[in-house]
């Protein structure tokens, strides 16, 4: 595997995963300081998202993410400064000019389309985008993501069904962390693997270890090739861990046992990938320290930049709500 890929790409994957983790941790600090209203974390999903992003073509393919996709955003090209502007609802937030709830990522220049707060509504949107691309003959793939809880919703079934009928160039990416807020998977679906459902829509479904960035990348590359060749959708289920509470507004110790929380920590994707790169002698202490120093500077810069940035002018409050 090592020979097949160039080392720079393997290191870049690590850098992105570690950057996402550090930025996410800073977002929690700002929340606990009372500066950021709400945080919803990518911690434990970094490998899934970076592995997926590396198989996509930024600015060409369409990204229709969900709220947990911070690492995907960074890997596609959203800057840490832009992320922090959104978190602190500043005027130059590229998602919404400071209007939207944090983590409702979008970016016009990067073909990233905002989802709406009702979970799963982004999936039919992605299918519509893929249908438009197919009708126009554009060489683009649409990627959309959602959690396993959301995969049980009607919108998701309807969207996948249509995509199967029309053989649309779309990738359904389920980030399965085993919980929908406090509800464990076994309480809301009768299947072990979300990917099993793909058979019912007439396209392939595959389950991968979502804590293994290279495994996700392989599956994504195959799905992108399939879509580009006109063979239609793929459902990829990446089994992740949710290393934090659902969001900054809940306490997961009320619904997850101490043993569960401990077991989960052993599947930390950033730690395991770092260990892998060390064992392959691609990274060592000095190189890791260099990467981490650079990340720390970037996170500090993004925080200061966003804290100093202006809030939206109150007189513009109705902009984007009513026609002007
Ligand atoms: C239609 C709808 N129902 C309920 C909610 C409240 N809600 C927000 S996130 C969430 C859990 C979703 O879990 P999952 O799809 O597994 O994604 P995860 O957060 O675990 O990544 C729920 C129930 C919502 N936003 N929209
Ligand atoms: Mg979940």
CA-177 nearest atom, ligand 1: 20
- CA of residue 267 relative to chain centroid, distance: 18
Per-residue pLDDT band at 322 (split at 50, 70, 90): confident
pLDDT given at position 18: 98
Per-residue pLDDT band at 194 (split at 50, 70, 90): very high
pLDDT given at position 318: 87
Helices 122-136 and 154-166 pack at an angle, to 10 degrees, of: 20
pTM above 0.95, yes or no: yes
Per-residue pLDDT band at 19 (split at 50, 70, 90): very high
Neighbouring residues of 209: CB distance < 8 A, sequence distance ≥ 6: 215, 216, 238, 239
Ligand 1 neighbour 160 (Cβ under 6 A): no
The 10s digit of each residue's pLDDT in 288-306 is 999 999 999 999 999 999 9
Ligand 1 neighbour 52 (Cβ under 6 A): no
pLDDT given at position 217: 98
How many CB atoms within 10 Å of residue 218? 16
Ligand 1 neighbour 124 (Cβ under 6 A): no
CA-148 nearest atom, ligand 1: 16
243 neighbors 79 (Cβ within 8 angstroms): no
pLDDT given at position 324: 79
Distance CA 90, CA 2 (A): 42
CA atoms within 13 A on the CB side of 139: 4
Ligand 1 neighbour 119 (Cβ under 6 A): yes
Q: Whose CA is nearest to atom 7 of ligand 1?
A: 119
Say if residue 4's pLDDT is above 60: no
* Contacts by residues 1-8 (CB-CB < 8 Å, ≥ 24 positions apart): 1/214, 2/280, 2/282, 7/282
CA of 213 to the centre of ligand 2 (A): 19
CA of 102 to the centre of ligand 1 (A): 15
Q: What is the mean pLDDT of residues 18-45?
A: 98
3-state secondary structure 120-150: CCHHHHHHHHHHHHHHHCCCCCEEEEEECCH
Question: What are 62's strand-pairing partners?
Answer: 142
CA of 140 to the centre of ligand 2 (A): 28
- CA of residue 304 relative to chain centroid, distance: 24
pLDDT given at position 5: 62
Ligand 1 neighbour 68 (Cβ under 6 A): yes
Q: Largest Cα–Cα distance of the chain, in whole Å?
A: 59
Average pLDDT, the chain: 96
Q: What is the mean pLDDT of residues 167-188?
A: 97
Query: What residue ranges define each of the domains in the chain, with the CATH number in brackets?
Result: 7-316 (3.40.50.970)
CA-151 nearest atom, ligand 1: 15
Ligand 1 neighbour 70 (Cβ under 6 A): no
Distance CA 5, CA 314 (A): 50
Ligand 1 neighbour 69 (Cβ under 6 A): no
Site to probe by mutation for ligand 1, drawn from 43, 115, 119 as the one with most ligand atoms within 8 Å of Cβ, is 119
Residues with CB under 5 A from ligand 2 (ion): 147-149, 177, 179
Q: What is the mean pLDDT of residues 235-246?
A: 98
CA of 309 to the centre of ligand 1 (A): 31
Per-residue pLDDT band at 3 (split at 50, 70, 90): low
Say if residue 37's pLDDT is above 70: yes
Residue closest to 61 by CA, chosen among 294, 192, 227: 227
Per-residue pLDDT band at 9 (split at 50, 70, 90): very high
pLDDT given at position 133: 97
176 neighbors 242 (Cβ within 8 angstroms): no
The 10s digit of each residue's pLDDT in 107-132 is 999 999 999 999 999 999 999 999 99
Ligand 1 neighbour 117 (Cβ under 6 A): yes
């Amino acid at each position: 595997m090592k020979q097949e890929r160039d080392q720079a790409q393997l290191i870049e994957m690590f850098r992105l995963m570690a950057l996402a983790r550090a930025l996410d941790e800073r977002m929690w600090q700002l929340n606990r300081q009372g500066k950021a209203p709400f945080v919803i974390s990518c911690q434990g999903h970094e490998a899934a998202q970076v592995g997926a992003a590396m198989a996509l073509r930024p600015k060409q393919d369409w990204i229709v993410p969900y709220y947990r996709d911070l690492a995907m955003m960074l890997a596609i090209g959203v800057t840490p400064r832009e992320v922090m502007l959104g978190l602190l609802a500043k005027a130059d937030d590229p998602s919404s000019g400071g209007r939207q709830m944090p983590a409702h990522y979008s970016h016009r220049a990067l073909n990233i389309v905002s989802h709406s707060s009702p979970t799963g509504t982004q999936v039919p949107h992605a299918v519509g985008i893929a249908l438009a691309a197919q009708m126009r003959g554009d060489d683009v793939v649409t990627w959309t993501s959602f959690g396993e809880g959301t995969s049980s919703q009607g919108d998701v079934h309807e969207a996948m069904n249509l995509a199967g009928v029309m053989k649309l160039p779309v990738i359904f990416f389920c980030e399965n962390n085993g919980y929908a807020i406090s509800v464990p998977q076994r309480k809301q679906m009768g299947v072990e693997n979300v990917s099993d459902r793909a058979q019912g829509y007439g396209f392939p479904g595959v389950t991968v270890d979502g804590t293994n960035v290279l495994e996700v990348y392989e599956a994504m590359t195959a799905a992108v090739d399939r879509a580009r060749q006109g063979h239609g959708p793929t459902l990829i289920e990446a089994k992740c861990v949710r290393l934090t509470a659902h969001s900054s507004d809940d306490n997961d110790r009320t619904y997850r046992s101490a043993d569960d929380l401990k077991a989960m920590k052993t599947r930390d994707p950033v730690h395991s990938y770092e260990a892998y790169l060390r064992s392959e002698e691609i990274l060592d202490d000095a190189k890791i320290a260099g990467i981490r120093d650079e990340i720390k500077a970037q996170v500090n810069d993004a925080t200061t930049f966003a804290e100093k940035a202006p809030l939206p002018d109150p007189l513009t409050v109705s902009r984007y709500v009513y026609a002007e």
